[in-house]
Amino acid sequence: KQEVTQIPAALSVPEGENLVLNCSFTDSAIYNLQWFRQDPGKGLTSLLLIQSSQREQTSGRLNASLDKSSGRSTLYIAASQPGDSATYLCAVYGGSQGNLIFGKGTKLSVKP
């Protein structure tokens, strides 16, 4: 059974710092991996999707990498801002029902 783990569960950094969020998964047979952002009391906003054949994807200050063989993905956020404060969720496609399997998220707080 596929399991997705995100470390750390919570992270607090000063504004301007570069940071890395980690995601690991137990079964390397995935179709792709998706990173989401969730603000308190809100829905999920898709940030980046990496297909299984890709190594990384970039959008603005965000860069996500994927290493299928080791079962790991990282989300790199450059020059963090208070507006980046949110919970970041990692999810993989690999379930037998074609669904996403989610980690529990990393709660990021960026202090001014």
Residues lying near other proteins in the complex (CB under 8 A): 4, 31-32, 34, 36, 41-44, 46, 49, 51, 89, 91, 93, 95, 97-100, 102-105
Shortest Å distance, C-beta 51 to other proteins: 7
CB closer to other proteins out of 71 and 94: 94
Quote the radius of gyration of the chain (alpha carbons, Å). Answer: 13
Residue ranges in the chain assigned as alpha helix (H): none
Shortest Å distance, C-beta 64 to other proteins: 14
Q: How far apart are CA 5 and CA 13, in angstroms?
A: 21
CB closer to other proteins out of 4 and 108: 4
Collapsing DSSP states into helix, strand and coil, what is residue 83? helix
Shortest Å distance, C-beta 54 to other proteins: 11
Shortest Å distance, C-beta 89 to other proteins: 8
The dihedral built from the CA positions of residue 58, 22, 106 and 17, taken in this order, carries a sign that is negative
Q: What is the helix (H) or strand (E) element at residue 47, kind and residue range?
A: strand 44-51
Token code pair at residue 6: 């995100």
CB closer to other proteins out of 48 and 80: 48
